[in-house]
């Protein structure tokens, strides 16, 4: 466990923490900059930024659409890192992306084309260059939805070397043995997946959340709950159930996609969510499942 | 535990939520498939015989043999129930799901071949079944949609992206991530996370096992080459597996050369599906393998006149066998495949799937390198491709094509 | 000489010009088919195995067996190359024509099943082939026309009359009357002048021979009933022949009841094809048999939702076996056949030909009379019928049908 | 051989004979009456009348079309016999029809219908009633294109009983053994099929005609050649080759179908054909093949 972790500190110090997700480049990198700064002002304690990948198998329709918009706007890893460099926010930043994006960055892998000499040596896929560049831009951590603990060793090693956190997801289906395996590699916080399925705003807090939090109690790492959190009231319930933070994504992207005044609305939403979380922390009696 | 990788390929790159299901599947695979627990393998073989029509013949192609002045044998997977090798795998997996106590089957499909095979298997074994299919594919593959519906499967059109196979796979993964406790996802080729590539290969390897025994009986020896088309690579690994240890047998995986081998990075489109020949290593749909991707790691849209080969990835075991030199990757372009389609139809009275036509196209192009005794896997029949072939033939001036001007004006 | 009649049915009612060809054919049939001269039968069997995919399985239908509380076995002729039993006969005749030194093949076709089978066989054996097909059928059976063209056959649209099977047969007879010296006419069922009914039956009787051995192996005894649909009656006689001497095995020939059993004399139309149940004796297409005809002797237009059963005549041997009581003629109407089509598709994962669906419809209607062990011949697969079934299903409110509303609006 | 045969007499007495064919009822029975009388006036020595059958497998497109017109006009066997009864011609008349029409006439066979009691006895198909009725109306003979010698015994017997001729066709493919079999049953004349194929007007006289006439030489029966004869010049050649008569059908039906003055044209055509035949008979030296 990386005890110097900037992320862990941010959660503990701002307990209960609000963690927000936006897809970088949706609808443009300039706008993402303004949105992220608004969330920061509104009370976000940690900010996840999605680097869009063409096959977002873990996302529901809302984030899929955001990713498509970001790709159509020409969001590349390099521009993503430039955005991160540019951002002026207090909250630590994490990148959320799929493993292939991490592997290919700087690998020199090029599809065959008329210009490429087929015999020219290529580096194999390697997470190193990505992590190096992420550290350079000041990113504090990485979340990879399609990288289970079993396949994480190379990325874990690269993150350790550069002092980045690697956040793992704990699912409702994760059993005891797997939990140990995951927690032995996790850093920053445990991303507690509130329910089976994909990302997306939903109207209630599932019983799976309570179960997961209970199972995680013995591990000394902050627990943040995501997947389906959309309102201050959810945030309250989740924190009341024992979480150290709530993660909100799709509900924010709905604002990006639909609002006429997204900057103001994002700031307000962050404020509402943070308020809800805080109400949960101050509740007289933490509910037991 | 079974090996989860083939050299540096394979693995399990999936959301955590699915990992317990993969462990459960791996366990079931080992017990039922590898160890024949509860007689699983016996039941599978019996059903493939009575329901599926196995064994399929290995047929000497008299006129091709004459044309190429060598002995050409066709492995007739087009005669499997449903019209392609796909049932070998679909029935195996649906039966396994039943043994595992799963209550529901989901699957993705592109052109519809795997979807129809899965729907058939699910109907046969009385399992509720839902098939995800891209909107574009739903609209252009109506007969296969009808077939799935007739077999009682739900067909869920996927509106995302270009509405083809890649999107359908993504969406099926999402369903699975939600329903994994009661549902088995029947992946349609030797792709996806471990144990799928190994398990699908094992269900398909009956192709090569039969062919190996048949060619020894009919020609008195092992072949010089085995040729099979490769999309995901399930008919390919199915045909090759029994021969991998026979070092004197050359193995050719024939990919879709499409209209060109160049990728258009700006558009994110590869006008081919020649993953093994031109792809680079990366992670897609749960496995490390060769991919058609941009330098940044975005998966590009592949293309082939044959829908079943039209996929930007390929099975990790094939990537490994190509990397080690055991399998030779080659490719055949749209036009050569169309000509091969017409050639087999006219010369042998067998209308092959456009996928299989790629394998036959390679024999036309390279027969001098294939030795005197060649086994070609005819992975499926071409009834499903008639409209496409007519359309594509009209656009070109194909040597081997008949005209079909008999309709009313 | 082989018997030219079955009781009072059969014979050779053809123009004198064809008689020498029939004599020649009879002689060839006796030498090659009955006496295996030059190893004809061996070559035929081998090609049916390697090219045709024989033997076909006899499959226990688990869910139908449960539904009817008896043992239902399906003879899977749908798995024969081309998708129906038709190849058994087409390959036999084209091979025989080759042994006879003929240079050209002609055939008639209605829905296109016999035409495609003949075209496949002719391509396989490298014989020039022309298929006559009514104009109406050409236009409504495009996929089968494409298949024949792909196999290199000429397709000659027949403009006469209503442009369906009857006219196509007439026209093929006319071609034959002109070219008889070099050409063999491959008749598509157990109809026509002697020796066709006997010879076609012999080529098809592999169905029943296999089934008889299979059911003894799988169920340990002979069945109580064998059920097969009957158009011309070739799958029927093929399924029955091996059982005719087994007196305890009941044989049911299921005809198309169409929409009604009444004939409209004024219009010259029978809304059914139930020749054996409702026809009267007469001469059509070379043989004395049961026919759908007006009191004056004009042949009426038959009707069935299934194109392959839509014929006003029937094989003379079947007429005889019905007359002697050995075969029981029954019929199943369009709606019941459509329901049976959907039922088998959904319950067993096998999409049957609409023709075969009639046989299955009879099992649904009369299973209580069929005994405990029933063999049903699934003469072909239903891919060819999807459009028809959808159209016809839409017109009705069918219990067994799925909806197919997944297409873009 | 029926030596009292009216048909044989008509051919011998009018040697070389012109035999004409029309489909009865094309386009109506009234018109057929006028046409037949015109042919009779023009020089026809024997007249074949087709009783239309729905499946005319031996006919080419011209006669097929005539048969369809006749069926559409409602021509039935009974009306056919009434026409024959009505005709006022010198030439003997033959009926040409397919065997099923002969078998069903008066057989009482009825298709199943709501009104028919399924147990009601039916006569089997039987040529007797047809022949009896034909004899009554004064028909002199019958030609059945789909009845080879092998299947002819019942009809032959019925014809013998009523004194009708049964005319058989001899094809180019008919070999020696078959010729004997046919000629042993034939009466009236031998219908020599000029070429393989179906009926229909053609532009030349085939070599098969010469061969067939040569093979028939030993049989003491008039030989008439048909299939494809359309002009006086053909008639001449055929008679010169040794035929006792020519048979013309499709060429006359073309007139029925196309002419604006069919009665006059039919009479003229008969006259032309008869003239051609006579020129052939008067030729100095019969050509040898
Ligand atoms: C007939 C046929 N052959 C080949 C393929 C390609 O798949 P694979 O490479 O997995 O065999 C398909 C896929 O749909 C197919 O239908
Ligand atoms: C599948 C199938 N079954 C049955 C038939 C009916 O023919 P028969 O009665 O000669 O078997 C046909 C004719 O096309 C057919 O295609």
Q: How far is CA A142 from CA A108, B87, D242, in A?
A: 22, 41, 107
CA separation for the pair D213, D208 (Å, rounded): 9
* Helix, coil or strand: residue A181: helix
For β-strands C280-284 and C287-291, DSSP reports them as antiparallel
Ligand nearest to the CA of B196: 1
Helices marked H in C110-257 — which ranges? Answer: 113-124, 135-140, 142-150, 165-179, 196-204, 206-219, 234-240
Phi and psi angles of residue C131, each rounded to the nearest 5 degrees, phi first = -120, 130
Residue C175 and residue C133 in one domain: yes
B66 an active-site residue? no
Write the residue with the smallest CA distance to atom 4 of ligand 2.
C355
Residue at A202 is within a domain: yes
Low-confidence ranges of chain A (pLDDT < 50): 1-2, 111-121, 287, 289
- Asked if A151 lies within 8 A of B12 by C-beta distance, the reply is yes
User: What count of other Cβ atoms lies within 10 Å of the Cβ of residue C117?
Assistant: 34
- Residue B343 domain-assigned? yes
Q: D47 forms bridges with which residues in the sheet?
A: D20, D93
Catalytic entry in A37, A59, A267, A278: A59
Q: Looking at residue C231, which CATH number applies to its domain?
A: 3.40.50.1100
- Please tell me the predicted confidence (pLDDT) of residue D67: 97
Q: Which of A6, A8, A37, A48 is catalytic?
A: A48
Instruction: Clarify whether residues C266 and C358 are in a common domain.
Output: yes
Q: Is residue B43 very low, low, confident or very high in pLDDT (cuts 50, 70, 90)?
A: very high
CA dihedral C221, C222, C227, C230 (to 10 degrees): 140
Strand residues in C247-286 grouped as ranges (E): 250-258, 280-284
Residue predicted with more confidence, A220 or C46? C46
Burial class (CB in 10 A: 0-12, 13-18, 19+), B262: middle
* Pair (C386, C238) in one structural domain: yes
The pLDDT assigned to A107 comes to 77
Structure tokens at C401: 């049908």
Check whether residue B178 and residue B274 sit in a common domain: no
Residue A170 is nearest to which of B16, B279, B295, comparing CB atoms? B16
CB pairs under 8 A between C and D: 154
- In D148-187, the residues whose Cβ lies within 8 Å of chain C are 148-151, 168-175, 178, 182
Ligand 1 close to Cβ of residue B189 (< 6 A): yes
DSSP class per residue in D184-200: TT--S-EEEE-SSS-S-
- Active-site position among B70, B345, B356, B379: B379
Q: Is residue A81 part of a domain?
A: yes
In chain B, the number of structural domains is 2
**Whether residue C279 sits in one domain with residue C191:** no
On whether residue D287 sits in a domain, the answer given is: no
Helix (H) or strand (E) holding C243: none
Kindly state whether residues B67 and B92 are assigned to the same domain. Answer: no
One domain for residues B257 and B194? no
* pLDDT confidence tier of residue B260, bands split at 50, 70 and 90: confident
What whole-number percentage of chain C has pLDDT above 90? 85
Give the pLDDT score at D113: 46
D99 CA to centre of own chain: 13
Domain end point (choices C182, C200, C218): C200
Residue C2 inside a domain? The answer is no
CB neighbour class for A3 (10 Å; exposed up to 12, middle 13-18, buried from 19): exposed
Residues B282, B249 share a domain: yes
* Neighboring chain C residues of D113 at a CB cutoff of 8 Å: 262-263, 265
Please name the residue whose Cα sits nearest to atom 13 of ligand 2.
Answer: C308
Task: Quote the CA–CA distance of B183 and B107 in Å, as a whole number.
Answer: 10
Domain that holds residue D135: 6-107+123-282
pLDDT for residue B383 is more than 90: yes
Question: What local confidence, expressed as pLDDT, does residue D208 receive?
Answer: 81
Q: How many CB atoms lie within 10 A of CB A115?
A: 7
The bridge status of strand C154-158 relative to strand C58-60 is unpaired
Write the CATH number for A254. Answer: 3.20.20.70
Does some domain include residue B147? Answer: yes
Token digits for B159? 């509106």
Q: Is the ipTM here above 0.90? A: yes
A118 burial level (CB within 10 Å; 0-12, 13-18, 19+): exposed
pLDDT digits (tens, 9 = 90+) for A63-78: 999 999 999 999 999 9
Residue B210 domain flag: yes
d(CA B130, CA B287): 24
State pLDDT tens for residues D241-280: 999 999 999 999 999 999 999 999 999 999 999 999 999 9
In a domain, D149, yes or no: yes
Q: Is A48 part of the annotated catalytic residue set?
A: yes
| Full residue range of the structural domain in which residue C315 is found | 58-83+205-394
Q: Which residues of D touch C161 (CB under 8 A)?
A: 68
CA C378, CA C79: separation in Å to the nearest integer? Answer: 9
Segment D162-178, tens digit of pLDDT: 999 999 999 999 988 89
Residue matched to tokens 């007249």: D47
In a domain, A36, yes or no: yes
- Share of residues in chain B with pLDDT > 90 (%): 85
Calculated CA dihedral for residues D238, D244, D249, D252, nearest 10 degrees: 80
3-class state of residue D235 by DSSP: helix
- Positive or negative torsion for Cα B207, B211, B213, B214: positive
Q: Region C279-290: what's the mean pLDDT? A: 97
Q: Is the per-residue pLDDT at C90 higher than 50?
A: yes
| Total domain count, chain A | 1
Determine, yes or no, domain membership for C1.
Answer: no
Q: Smallest Cα–Cα separation from B197: which of B21, B356, B82, B25?
A: B25
Is the pLDDT assigned to residue D8 strictly greater than 60? Answer: yes
Residue D11 forms part of a structural domain: yes
* C163, C236: one domain: no
Question: Which residue from D189, D173, D196, D180 is spatially nearest to C19, judged by alpha carbons?
Answer: D173
- Substitution target in C2, C3, C17 with the highest count of D β-carbons within 10 Å is C17
Q: How far is the CA of B178 from the centre of ligand 1 (A)?
A: 28
In this complex, do B146 and C346 lie within 8 Å of one another by their Cβ atoms?
no
State the distance from the centre of ligand 1 to the C-alpha of C50, rounded, in angstroms. Answer: 22
Q: Whole-angstrom Cα distance, residue A9 to residue A3?
A: 8
Is B196 found in the same domain as B211? Answer: no
Q: Report if residue B399 sits inside a domain.
A: no
Residue B111 Cβ < 6 Å to ligand 1: yes
Q: Backbone phi, then psi, for C65, in 5-degree steps?
A: -60, -40
- Considering the domain boundaries, does residue A118 fall inside one? no
Q: How far is CA B245 from CA B314, B323, D236, D241, in A?
A: 22, 16, 83, 80
Q: Report phi then psi at C204, rounded to 5.
A: -85, -15
If you write DSSP's letter for every residue of D95-153 in order, what string do you get?
Answer: EE--HHHHHHTTS------TTS-TTS--PPP-SHHHHHHHHHTT--EEE-TT--GGG-H
* Per-residue pLDDT tens over the stretch B158-197: 998 888 898 899 999 999 989 999 999 999 999 999 999 9
Are residues C177 and C293 both part of a single domain? no
| Ligand 1, atom nearest to B83 Cα | 1
Domain presence at residue B289 = yes
Q: Residue D224 and residue D85: Cα distance in Å, rounded?
A: 26
Domain termination site, one of B155, B185, B200:
B200
Give me the DSSP letters along D20-71.
EEEETTSS-HHHHHHHHHHHHHHT-SEEEEE---S--TT--HHHHHHHHHHH
Q: How far is the CA of B230 from the centre of ligand 1 (A)?
A: 7
Average pLDDT value for chain B:
95
Write out the E strands in B110-260: 129-134, 154-158, 183-185, 225-229, 250-258
Q: How far apart are CA A214 and CA A211, in angstroms?
A: 5
Q: Across residues C302-316, what is the average pLDDT?
A: 94
Same-domain pairing of B359 and B282: yes
Among the candidates B179, B200, B221, a domain finishes at: B200
* Per-residue pLDDT reduced to its tens digit, B104-129: 999 999 989 999 999 999 999 999 99
Nearest to C236 by CA among C283, C305, C279, C190: C190
Nearest to D199 by CA among D62, D98, D15: D62
DSSP strands (E only) in B187-322: 225-229, 250-258, 280-284, 287-291
Cα–Cα distance measured from residue C113 to residue B150, given in angstroms and rounded to the nearest whole number: 21
| C157 phi, psi to nearest 5 deg | -70, 135
C1 pLDDT exceeds 60?
no
| Residue D116 domain flag | no
Q: Whole-model pTM?
A: 0.94
Residue C403 belongs to some domain of the structure = no
Phi and psi, residue A213, nearest 5°: -60, -40
| Ligand 2 atom nearest residue C190's Cα | 10
Chains C and A contact (Cβ–Cβ under 8 Å for 3 or more pairs): no
D126-149 average pLDDT score: 97
Task: State the DSSP code for B211.
Answer: H
State how far the Cα of A200 lies from the Cα of A249, in Å rounded to an integer.
8
Tell me the mean pLDDT in the region C70-80. 98
């Amino acid at each position: 466990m990386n005890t110097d972790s900037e992320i862990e500190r941010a959660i503990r110090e701002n307990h209960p923490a609000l963690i927000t997700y936006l897809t970088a480049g949706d609808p443009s990198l300039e706008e993402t900059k303004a949105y992220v700064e608004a969330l920061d002002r509104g009370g976000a304690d940690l900010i996840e930024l999605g680097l869009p990948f063409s096959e977002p198998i873990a996302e529901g329709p809302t984030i899929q659409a955001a990713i498509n918009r970001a790709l159509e706007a020409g969001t590349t890893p390099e521009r993503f890192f430039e955005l991160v460099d540019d951002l002026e926010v207090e909250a630590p930043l994490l990148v959320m992306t799929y493993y292939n994006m991490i592997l290919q960055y700087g690998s020199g892998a090029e599809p065959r084309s008329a210009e490429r000499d087929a015999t020219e040596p290529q580096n194999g896929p390697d997470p190193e260059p990505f992590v190096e560049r992420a550290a350079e831009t000041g990113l504090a951590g990485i979340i990879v939805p399609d990288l289970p603990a079993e396949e994480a060793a190379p990325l874990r090693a690269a993150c350790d070397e550069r002092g980045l956190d690697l956040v793992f997801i704990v699912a409702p289906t994760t059993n005891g043995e797997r939990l140990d395996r995951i927690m032995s590699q996790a850093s920053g916080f445990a991303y507690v997946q509130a329910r089976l399925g994909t990302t997306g705003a939903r109207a209630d807090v599932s019983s799976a959340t309570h179960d997961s939090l209970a199972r995680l109690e013995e591990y000394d790492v902050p627990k943040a709950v995501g997947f389906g959190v959309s309102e201050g009231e959810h945030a309250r319930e989740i924190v009341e159930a024992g979480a150290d933070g709530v993660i909100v994504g799709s509900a924010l992207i709905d604002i990006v996609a639909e609002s006429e005044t997204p900057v103001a609305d994002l700031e307000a939403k962050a404020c509402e969510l943070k308020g809800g979380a805080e109400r949960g922390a101050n509740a007289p009696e933490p509910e037991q499942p | 535990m079974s090996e989860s990788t083939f050299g540096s390929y394979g693995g399990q790159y999936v959301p955590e939520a699915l990992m317990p299901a993969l462990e459960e599947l791996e366990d079931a695979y080992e017990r039922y498939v590898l160890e024949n627990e509860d007689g699983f393998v016996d039941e599978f073989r019996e059903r493939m015989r009575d329901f599926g029509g196995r064994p399929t013949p290995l047929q000497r192609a008299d006129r091709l043999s004459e044309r190429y002045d060598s002995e050409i044998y066709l492995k007739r997977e087009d005669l499997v129930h449903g019209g392609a090798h796909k049932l070998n795998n679909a029935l195996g997996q649906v039966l396994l799901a039943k043994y595992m106590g799963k209550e529901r089957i989901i699957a993705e499909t592109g052109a519809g071949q795997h979807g129809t095979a899965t729907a058939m298997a699910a109907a046969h074994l009385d399992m509720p079944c839902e098939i995800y299919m891209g909107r574009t594919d739903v609209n252009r593959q109506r007969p296969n949609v009808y077939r799935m519906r007739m077999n009682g499967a739900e067909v869920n059109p996927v509106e995302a992206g270009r509405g083809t196979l890649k999107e359908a796979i993504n969406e099926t993964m999402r369903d699975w991530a939600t329903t994994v406790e009661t549902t088995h996802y029947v992946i349609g080729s030797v792709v996806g996370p471990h144990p799928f590539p190994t398990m699908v290969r094992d269900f398909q390897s009956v192709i090569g096992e039969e062919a190996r025994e048949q060619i020894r009986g009919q020609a008195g020896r092992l072949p010089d080459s085995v040729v099979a088309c490769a999309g995901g690579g399930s008919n390919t690994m199915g045909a090759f597996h029994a021969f991998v240890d026979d070092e004197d047998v050359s193995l050719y995986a024939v990919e879709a050369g499409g209209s060109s081998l160049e990728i258009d990075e700006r558009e994110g489109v590869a006008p081919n599906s020649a993953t093994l020949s031109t792809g680079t290593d990366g992670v897609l749909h749960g496995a490390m393998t060769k991919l058609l991707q941009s330098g940044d790691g975005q998966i590009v849209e592949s293309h082939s006149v044959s829908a079943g080969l039209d996929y930007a990835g390929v099975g990790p075991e094939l990537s490994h066998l190509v990397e080690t030199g055991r399998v030779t990757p080659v490719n055949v372009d749209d036009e050569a495949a169309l000509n091969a389609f017409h050639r087999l139809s006219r010369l042998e009275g067998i209308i092959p799937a456009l996928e299989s036509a790629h394998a036959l196209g390679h024999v036309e192009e390279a027969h001098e390198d294939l030795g005197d005794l060649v086994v070609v896997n005819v992975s499926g029949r071409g009834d499903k491709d008639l409209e496409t072939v007519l359309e594509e033939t009209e656009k070109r001036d194909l040597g081997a094509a008949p005209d079909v001007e008999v309709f009313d004006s």
